[in-house]
Structures are given as C-alpha cells and as structure tokens.
Amino acid sequence: MRAMSDPHLIFDRRLVRLRRERAAGTQHAVAPVLEAAAERLLDRLDDTTRRFERALEIGGRGLVAPRLRERGIASVASMDLSPRQAASAGGLAVAGDEEWLPFAAGSFDLVVASLSLHWVNDLPGALAQIRRAMAPDGLFLASLPALGTLQNLREALTGAEASLRAGASPRVSPFPELRDGAGLLQRAGFALPVADVEDISLAYRNPLALLRDLQAAGETSALRARDNRIPPRDLFPAALASLPPGTDGTPATLRLLTLTGWSPGPDQPRPARRGSADTRLADALGTKEQGTGEAPG
C-alpha cells in the first residue's frame, strides 16, 4: 500500500471508510436520492437481453443488491469499504477496498458500482481491477458524480472563505468530466465503452439542510488537502447566504456520470479493418462530397 505522503493520493481512504460506516445509520435521510440514482443506473441493465448469473455490486448501500435479485440474478455479492454498508445488502457481504479488489480473475459476469468510485484515488487502476475480475463478455455499470455536481456550493464556500481568510481550502471533491468517461473505460481495457451524464435536480427550503444531507450520506469532504483548522464561525452562514435562490428553494444538482463497458469477449462486434470499406461516406449519407480547396500534394 502506498504511503500517505504519496502526492497522488487525493482522498483519505480511512476517513472515507469511517464516514460510510457512520452513514449506514443515517443515510435513510437521503434515501430518495440514493434510490433514484440506483434506479437510473439499473435502467441500463434492463436495456440488454444478456442474462447474468454472478454479480458484484460495489457501494450500493443496501439498495442495489435487492434490485439485482429482483431481476433474477441469484448470486449477488456486495462489497463496500464499510463492513456495515456491505452487510446491509443481505446475502454475501465483503468488506473490501475498490483499490485492492479481493476477487479472482473472471469471478463475475456483471459488476455494478453505484455512487462509490468517486472516492477512489486511482480510478484507472480500480477500473482495470474490476475488468480483470469479470468473465468474458461481462457488463460493467457505474455511476459517479460528474463535474457540475454541487457547483453552486463549491463556489459559495470558496468565495466566503476567501473573504474571511487569506485564501481558501478545497471543501468539495474534484469530479471527472463527461469527456473523461469513455477514455477511462478504454484505458482499463473495456470494450464498447459508453459514457453519458444526466442531472438529478434538488431544491432545499433551508440551505443548511443540504449540508445535513451530505453529512447523513457520508459525503462530506475527505480530501487529504482539506484544512483541518476550525473554520471561521461565519464561513458556512456566509456561504449558504450567498447560494442563489430558486423558485422552489435553494437548488442543488447531482450530475451523474454513467459508465457502461463490456469485458472483451469473442462474440462482440469489432470495428472493420481500416481501409476495408467499399462505399464512400458521402454516398451513404446522400450528400455531395466537396474538396477543401487545397491543391493535391
């Protein structure tokens, strides 16, 4: 395991585990949001006719495993950094780390990770380990917060702290962008990679409730670069007061990045050999091909 002094370590994984462990008793306060995220992710599973027999769900908070069993998958293992979270799913529970998967190659034909991989330090490495644990032609589904999530809160906290102190410390995690998604899957060796985003829009009558929900879900900052000093007394009141109001209250956005990929298999579609086409693209589209205006050579 890498030392905590490693500059590539962004998150304090011990703190992530402790917060997820504590959240096992409080996350019922945000159950509608967690359930909506799980359902949207598993909708992708319903789009395929492939039948799965051995599934691994990662970080599902007791919500994903039952839904997989309802879809006819009898063998479902649940893994989480927190033992309480893993056990809450029922069935086979594994307290494990996404950065050090404890499974043999080819163990599963389906892996689902709902809102958990955003706390991983080495996401490309974690995805590569997940692919290794999958059988050929297995399906991988994951959702994680994307850039744009809690953007208003990030800007409000940064602005308020900058006005109260000489500078501001990061208080909201960095999130990946949509353009990163398919590239991460390809880098990990997945075939047919697809990435897309969709928003879950929330509104709070009391902006302080947003912070309470984040705490209840165990989603408060676990950045190693966080400022461990006691924050100024006026920081959070000033930040929350600066949040832009909406028609139904203080808006907050959970932007979900959904990743879909397949472990390589012999029967999957493959791109044709380069130069093997026998029809011009212009003919297929029914358009007239035009030159660039440059002389040949």
pLDDT of 291: 57
Residue 224 lies in a domain: no
- pTM (two decimals): 0.84
What's the domain range around 55?
13-147+174-201+253-266
User: Is 6 among the domain residues?
Assistant: no
Residue 109: inside a domain: yes
- Calculate the alpha carbon distances from 273 to 80, 268, 270, 276, 284 in Å: 42, 15, 9, 6, 18
For residue 41, being part of any structural domain is answered with yes
Domain count, the chain: 1
Mean per-residue pLDDT, 121-146: 96
Assigned domain for 280 exists: no
Q: What is the pLDDT of residue 294?
A: 56
Q: Residue 96: give its domain's CATH number.
A: 3.40.50.150
Task: Give me the torsion for CA of 12, 14, 20, 24, rounded to 10°.
Answer: -160
Report yes or no on 82 lying in a domain: yes
* Nearest 10 degrees: Cα torsion 218, 224, 227, 228: 70
Domain membership flag for residue 275? no
Amino acid at 206: N
Q: Which amino acid is at 196?
A: D
In a domain, 197, yes or no: yes
Q: Tens digits of per-residue pLDDT, 161-220?
A: 778 777 666 667 778 889 889 999 999 999 999 999 999 999 998 889 999 999 999 998
